[in-house]
Structure 1
Amino acid sequence: MKFRKVLLQAASLIVVLVITLCFWHTGVLSAVTQEKTTRIIKKIEIKGNHRISTAAIKSSIRVKEGDPYDPQMVSQDVDAIWSLGFFDNIEVSLEEIPAGLKLVFLITERTVIDEIQFQGNTRIKTKKLKKQIEIKQGDYLKQYLLKFDEDKIKELYIKKCFYRVQVHAETKVVNGKTVVIFNIDEGTKVRIARIAFKGNKGLKRRKLLKQMETRQKHFPTFIFPGRFDQRKFQSDIDKVKEFYMNNGWLDVDVGWEIAYSDDDSKMYITIHIKEGERYYVESLQVNGAALFTEEELKQKLKLQEGGPFFLDAVEKDTYQIRLTYGEQGYITTAVKEKHTFSSEGAKVNVSFTIDEKDRHYIEKIKITGNDKTRDNVIRRQLTFYPGEKLDTEKIRDSQRRLANTGYFDMESGMPAGINFEQGSEPNKQNILVEVKEGRTGMLRFGGGYGANVGAFGDVSYTDRNFDVTDLPKSLNDFVQGNAFRGAGEILTLRFSPGFYRTEIMASLTNPSVFDSPYSAGISLFDYLRWYREYQQQIIGSRVSGGREIQRDFFVRLSPEFDIIDINRRDDKEDTPQDVLDVEGSHLKAGVTLSANIIRIDNIFMPARGYDGESSVEVAGLDVDIVKYKFQTTKYNTLFEIPKWGKHVVAYGGSFGVVESTSGSEVPIFERFFAGGYGSIRGFEYRGVSPIDEKTDDQIGGNVLLLLNAEYLVPIYRDIIRAAVFVDSGKADKSVSDISFDHFRLSTGLGLRLSIPFLGRSTISLDYGIPVMKEDGDETQSFSFNFGGGSSF
């Protein structure tokens, strides 16, 4: 009973408290409501603003004079003012005034930069630093941008090899103006003087350096400045390690240290290598092959039993097996590779398991994207046909042939793509040839300069995809390029006047008459050339007929009729007798049998493959000669650095012999000369040949021998390339002089600029130094060529 009584008393007390609290809360709410209804904003003021107008600030807030005071709405208005981005601080205050409140927004405006200064910069001009930074005079001061600009200035200095540069930004008020000052401690310019390797017993330093973008300073310094970039160097270390692993050293460890000279101007990098053991292939197996024997497939693999285990060869050999099957039509062949490490030393067991599946055949060939080029023009470049087995090697070759026609957009990266599509049966595939039309016609108004031909103008039109039968239906068709297009014919119209030569030419060639392997062409020309000793004009016509004997191998027969006029330019006493002997007009009727092969990856900028041409010309009437010429060039890509370009070596030679069939001397205008661009750089055009004993003028020879080699180094992709070259050769009197006696030799450096808006023209600048020369030779160190030269 007593417990119940206590419980009842407690419950009564709780009820009383609850009722009391309810009455108190109601009173508070009533008081707040009463306060809201009585606290009215009578006045709004903006203080502290100088540059930003009061009207502009008030237009961004929602509270108005006469509204009840609402703290939440005022807070939202503070955010709205802040979002204008002009202020560093905003405060709100309330003042009691008669019949209400005064709401005050106290604003601190952001500082405006009146001036930007740089102190301590002696190696980089202030003008260049101002372009580097983000903040500008008149901007509002933002501390995070100052920090950002400090880093940008450091980046610029580091690119200039000032790795220890220090930059600190500060702000000062001078005469009432806000000045931002970048204090720069440039430090010493540092170049990489040496990159050394320690511990590299298995791989030579030269091979390891090829894996790196970081280079020590050496000539020419504009290509190899010895600049150090921390991010690139770290990537280089990873590449060196990967290179070791790809050559069998799977446990390699690579570290480095950097030291400086006493004056901090030279950086010495030492890369430490712990090679570990080299892994070798203990066993190599190929399982599941029925089409080929195991030995046939093993011969195609980079990995060999007993040889080093190349980590990258695992993927390459897998691809090579699939490629081998793809050439036989087994394009869905699956290859699984497995390698396990032996328990006995650094040995690896490698196995390839092949699931051959079915052979595929070509059902249809579908061509898309050719709005102007005819289907048959594209199909005649393909080396595969419907009904035959699908051969991936033929597909790659066809893709190369299509790209080299020049019909399609070479700047797109993929002017002609070839893909597969499932045919009507499981073992049949449709081939999809997708092309992107390019600009094949080029109307040119301009000119150029060649070391061999001097300055010249050029008004020309060339179309590699012309169609003489595609007449325009309207003027609009002609203007928009919808006429005379799509048959793959080559039209050239040219008028090219110059100081040393003038040329007028019109030619039309059909490389595949009626889609056959036969070609036909015709050309008319008027060629005027001024030499030092005489003036030569050739007016003539040429027709040609040819055939593609094998893939990329062509034979042509070209009859030609010319009228040749020779006029001396000096007095008789100063003119070589060889010129006087041929002065006047000559008729020449001849025929040329030529054969040429073009197997290069890109006809405009070759990096792999070879090309060559051989010709025999027999002429009669007033010019009785037999002339034989041979020329070939081979291109090899040594290596390719991503985002930089290909390092290409090109080498080749030329050989020529001309003989008279009438027993008289070969006319001077049919003889060979050496020297100049495209021949032996470092010598003048036609500056190497036998000379007239009386006048010391070059009079040409009956024999020509040339050997050339050039190493092309990309500076900026394929647009700017440097060249190192060696040229040698001679032009001699007669066939009995065919030897390496009296050879001239030159070497030098060059620059190649292939600018996209210039089309396929290349600017070439070469500096050649004659190393071996003869008395009477005429030298010329610089040779410059732009816009091509003569067709002859």
Structure 2
Amino acid sequence: MRRIVLLLLVSFGWLFAQRVEGVKIEGALYVPEDVIRGLIKVKEGMSYDPFAVREDIRRLYRTGFFESVEVYEEKLGDKVFLTYKVKDLPVIYKIEFRGNKKIKSDELEKKIGIETEVGKIDVEELTRQFTSSPAIEEKVEVQRRLKLGRVLSQEEMETIKNRIIQAYEREGYPNVQVSYELVPKKGASKLVYNIIEGEPEYVASVEIKGNKSFRKGRLLNLMETKPPSLLAFRLKPPFSEELLKEDIKRIEEFYRSEGFLEAKVSYRVEKEKNRYRIFIEVQEGPRYKLKAVKLEGNTYFSSRELIGNLLKKNKGGFYRDEVIKNIIKNIRDQYTQIGFLGVSVDREERRDNQKKEVEVVLRISEGEPFYVGRIEVRGNYETRDYVIRREMRVQEGDLINQRELERSRTRIFNLGYYEDVSIEPSSVEGNKLDLETRVRERFTGQFSVGLGYNQVTKLSGFISLRKGNFLGTGDIASISVSYGSKIKDNALSYTKKWFLNLPIDLSGSVYDRRIEYTTYTVGRTGLDLIISREISEFWRISGGISFQRVKYSNISPNASPIILQEAGERQSRKFIFGVSRDTRDNYLFPTKGSLTEIGYSVAVPVLGGTERFNKINLSHQTFLKDPFFDTDLILAFKGVLGVVEPYSRKTVPLDERFFVGGDFTIRGYKYGYAGPLDPNTSDPIGAKRQIILSAEANYPLYKNILYGALFYDTGLGFDKTSELKLQNLKGGYGVGVRFITPFAPIKLDWAFKTKKVPGDTSRSRIHFVLGFFF
């Protein structure tokens, strides 16, 4: 035993007596030698340790920059010479396309799914995103030294080549040739793909036969292969047989989803030079009925609750895949409302080929309810956490409710401080589910210069210093100066959110405003103090006071007597009250929900007030997505009622009357021309009562940014109830576009009036609004 120990000691002593005399790097084409030397720990002059060499090999492999690493040793007495032979992978800093004319480089980049310009790596961002580990630290070290690009293997380069070929084939270029070359440099290389596009091939025609249940247009809408069309500016649609095969499969799947479970679709093509005639043959076969939908495993809900009336909407009782998917979606929605986020539904279809019926069995695995673990707030570089957390409808320890999560997101987004808000599960431990609330902040503190426009104020410019989310507290402070040919609006305001740590907003503003109408100018200088409180999830009440000095000037001698009597200055002292219920999903452009508002103001003879009137305004707006055909159509309906009456033998001030007609009431008319007019001058003089009804349909033309619109408005401004007759109602209808930006929506309408009135005899009118609408 002593001999063995002694032998081991002698061996280790001899081992550690060996010194590393030299370290060579061979085979590196792309990664600089100094980078490799910086990664390996064995250096000249150190005691030789084979375990340290093995660790160097592992370290180099972990970077992902080497295909192979081998170390050779040469011993001369107590000296060891090491040679690190590596086969490194190219670090690509740029991918370049040459010869591509049909598909632009940026389009090709999207089609193949790869970035072509990498540029400098943000190492700090890498270290923020990943938890520290030896592999990550070594990769970051290489990135820090190289500072450019990504590593691509030979297989990945070939994959990119094949994707380019596929992209061209789908564009009708089946004979495209693609090759690539590597322009190597130490540290970073350029990968160049040379493309010879070849001659294109086109679709000459598409004929479909055998389709009895669905028209040809419906089937063509399923296809990416299209026939020529002058109306669609599709003169030479590309032909791709791979794409056509996918289209045929898509049509077959569509027939099966509609109950034609034995449907078969085939095709043939005839080529004439570089054009193809396509013939599609449909064999529909019998249409299967939906015999029944049975649910199993549901203990918290009855089958009737989970299926609802979805089967009643199934016209003809045929088997439709969409109906089953809607039932499954309804099942998941119902369970997620009570915290069962892990619910799963297995689907089994039992087909009776003789009776041509399908029975569907849905097996529900309810799982267990989930509770909120931790809530992490991310992306709020300016906003304090509590500003976001106080809008959350779920807190740590609560049962997770999908409806409350959606409501939380809506409330946070509607603060107006964020471009995007998401609430997603981050990790699971038992029945605890951690949530990550991630926001992308927009610029809320800004000095802005811009333009605004509507029918009353015309074009106006503004300079605004506004700080939403002031000091990250959610408060709003602003000072603005607006001037235009018809308007002046200077204001200073501050809103304290969650006053006294309660859901109370306290707002104060001072202002100096002037609007120039056709025959007069009205100016208001004043102070408003408003306090509002959220009394339940959707309901809010408000109250406040308003002190104003009102002045009428520049009155035309030809103006209406009602306007002439307003000349001069008066003092207004008002108490203001309001109740609102807001369930809209988006304050900029709602797609669902409603907004109900009741406003009441009374002018009183206190502190020098000279006005005496009561004014009440009721309005309701409803927004919903198409409930009938499940399209992306957004329907909006609005109703407004208003009454203002004087007391103590006073008259209603002109600017407190209702001016019906214009951008925000009945389109097609000039401002105020759908209400009372002066019989001598045909000027609008405002009404003591108003009723307005509007309906609008918006359809997305491009993502959720550009919408087309159809609308109809009707209503009347009147003084006496006896004037409210069907034949007196004014109406406007037309088309428009909506452009939704993160800052303010833009609306352009072309409206036609149903009745011409004195002073406004044009058939139609263009309405342009920059800012909130409807």
TM-score, with normalisation over the residues of structure 1?
0.64
Q: State whether residues 368 and 434 of structure 1, in contact with CA within 8 Å, keep that contact through their aligned partners in structure 2.
A: yes
Asked if residue 610 in structure 1 is aligned to residue 602 in structure 2, the reply is: no
1:654 aligns with 2:640: yes
User: What are the within-5 Å matches in structure 2 for residues 443-482 of structure 1?
Assistant: 443-466=447-470
**Count of aligned positions:** 585
What is the Cα deviation at residue 501 of structure 1? 1.1
Aligned twin of 1:407: 417
Q: Judge conservation of contact 1:753–1:763 (CA < 8 Å) in 2.
A: yes
Do 2:555 and 2:564's aligned partners in 1 also have CA atoms closer than 8 Å?
A: no
- 1:741 aligns to what SS in structure 2? helix
SS for the counterpart of 1:317 is helix
* 1:620 to 2:607 alignment: no
* 1:338-487 superposed matches below 5 A: 338-410=348-420, 415-423=421-429, 426-466=430-470, 484=471, 486-487=472-473
Shift of 1:627: 1.5
SS at match of 2:335: helix
Aligned equivalent of 2:4? none
Matching of residues 164-313 of structure 1 within 5 Å: 229=237, 241-253=252-264, 274-299=283-308, 307-313=317-323
Q: C-alpha distance in 1, partners of 2:331/2:455?
A: 51
CA contact (8 A) 1:593 1:615 kept: yes
Q: What CA deviation, in whole Å up to 9, does each residue of 1:188-240 have, x standing for no partner?
A: x9999xx9998766567897787678999999x7xx65767457995777666
Q: Return the offset for 1:666.
A: 1.9
Would the aligned equivalents of 2:227 and 2:237 in 1 still touch at CA under 8 Å? no
The AA in structure 2 aligned to 1:595 is V
Secondary structure at 2:332's aligned position in 1?
A: helix
Distance of aligned partners of 1:718 and 1:361 in 2 relative to their CA distance in 1, 3 Å threshold: closer
Provide the C-alpha distance between the structure 1 equivalents of 2:377 and 2:771, rounded to a whole number of angstroms.
35
**Cα offset for 1:460?**
1.1
SS in 2 for 1:283: strand
Q: Which amino acid aligns with 2:604?
A: G
Rounded Cα–Cα distance in structure 2 between residues aligned with 1:191 and 1:753: 37
Shift of 1:721: 3.1
Is 1:492 the equivalent of 2:478? yes
Structure 1 residue 697, shift from structure 2 partner: 1.7
Q: What SS does structure 1 have at the residue aligned with 2:663?
A: coil
Deviation readout 1:140-166 (Å, 9 max, x if unpaired): xxxxxxxxxxxxxxx9xxx9xxx9xxx
Distance 1:302 1:253 in 2: 27
In structure 1, how many angstroms separate the alpha carbons of the residues matched to 2:283 and 2:435?
A: 51
Query: Are 1:745 and 1:773, in contact at CA under 8 Å, matched by a contact in 2?
Result: no
Q: For residue 682 of structure 1, give the secondary structure of its aligned residue in structure 2.
A: coil
How far did residue 458 of structure 1 move? 0.5
Q: CA deviation at 1:689?
A: 2.0
Confirm whether residue 633 of structure 1 aligns to residue 617 of structure 2: no
Return the alpha-carbon distance in structure 2 between the equivalents of residues 406 and 231 of structure 1.
47
| SS of 1:296 mapped into structure 2 | helix
Question: Aligned in 2, Cα 1:227/1:677: closer, same or farther, shift over 3 Å?
Answer: farther
Q: Which residue of 1 aligns with 2:144?
A: none
Structure 2 residue 750 is matched with structure 1 residue 767: yes
Give, as a single letter, the amino acid of the residue that structure 1 aligns with 2:327. D
**Residues 767 and 330 of structure 1: CA distance in aligned 2, closer, same or farther (over 3 Å):** closer
User: What's the CA shift for 1:617?
Assistant: 1.6
Alpha-carbon distance, 1:600 to partner: 2.5
Deviation at 1:272, TM superposition (A): 7.4
**1:23-102 maps to which residues of 2 (within 5 A)?**
none
Match among 500, 509, 519 for residue 495 of structure 2: 509
Secondary structure of the corresponding residue to residue 323 of structure 1: helix
Give the secondary-structure state (helix, strand or coil) at the position aligned to 2:484: coil
C-alpha displacement at 1:570, in angstroms?
1.4
Secondary structure of the residue aligned to 1:365 is strand
Q: Which residue of 1 aligns with 2:59?
A: none
Q: Residues 740-755 of structure 1: matches in 2 within 5 Å? A: 740-754=726-740
* Closer/same/farther in 2, CA of residues 225 and 737 from structure 1, 3 Å limit: farther
Does the aligned pair in 1 maintain the 2:372–2:399 contact within 8 Å? yes
Does structure 1 conserve the Cα–Cα contact (< 8 Å) formed by 2:479 and 2:492?
Answer: yes
Shift of 1:506: 1.9
Whether 1:696 and 2:677 are equivalent positions in the alignment is no
Bigger Rg over Cα: 1
Q: Tell me the alpha carbon deviations over residues 446-465 of structure 1, each in whole angstroms, 9 at most, x when there is no partner.
A: 22333331121110133332
The structure-2 alpha-carbon separation of the partners of 1:292 and 1:762, relative to structure 1 and needing over 3 Å to count, comes to closer
2:595 maps to 1:595: no
Give the CA deviation at 1:559: 1.8
The one-character-per-residue Cα deviations of 1:529-586 (angstroms, maximum 9, x if unpaired) are: 1111211001111111122222232221132121111124212xx1211012221111
Q: Which amino acid aligns with 2:743?
A: R
Give the AA of the match of 1:338: E
- How far apart, in 2, do the equivalents of 1:200 and 1:599 lie? 45
Partners in 1 of 2:598 and 2:773 — Cα distance? 20
Partner residue of 2:553?
567
Partner Cα separation in structure 2 for residue 360 and residue 683 of structure 1: 56
Sort the Cα spacing of 1:722 and 1:326 in 2 relative to 1 into closer, same or farther, 3 A: closer
In structure 1, distance between residues paired with 2:225 and 2:628: 15
2:769 matches 1:783:
no
Give the whole-Å Cα distance in 1 for the aligned partners of 2:739 and 2:713.
21
Counterpart pick for 2:710 among 715, 724, 727? 724
Distance in 1 (alpha carbons) for counterparts of 2:226 and 2:729: 37
SS at match of 2:460: strand
- Secondary structure of the residue aligned to 1:658 is strand
- Indicate how the Cα distance of structure 1 residues 612 and 371 shifts in structure 2: closer, same or farther if over 3 A, else same: same
State the distance in 1 between where 2:645 and 2:221 align: 50
Distance 1:688 1:328 in 2: 51
Please tell me the residue identity of whatever aligns with 1:540.
G
The CA deviation at 1:674 is 2.0
Structure 1 residue 300, shift from structure 2 partner:
7.3
Alignment partner of 1:687 is 2:698? no
Give the direction of change, closer, same or farther, for the CA distance of 1:580–1:310 in structure 2 (3 Å limit).
same
TM-score (norm 2): 0.65
Query: Counterpart amino acid of 1:352?
Result: L
Contact 1:409 1:439 in 2 (8 A): no
Give the 3 Å change call, closer, same or farther, for CA 502–699 of structure 1 in structure 2.
same
Residues 585-594 or 400-409, more deviating: 400-409
Alignment check: 8 A CA contact 2:521 2:553 kept: yes
Query: Whole-Å Cα distance in 2 between the matches of residues 729 and 429 of structure 1?
Result: 52
Cα deviation code 1:615-666 (max 9, x no counterpart): 1222223221121222333333349999xx9443333232222111234432
CA distance in 1, matches of 2:578, 2:212: 53
How many Å separate the matches in 2 of 1:748 and 1:687? Answer: 18
| Greater alpha carbon shift after TM alignment, 745-754 vs 621-630 | 745-754
Unaligned runs of 5+ in 2: 1-100, 106-167, 173-199, 271-276
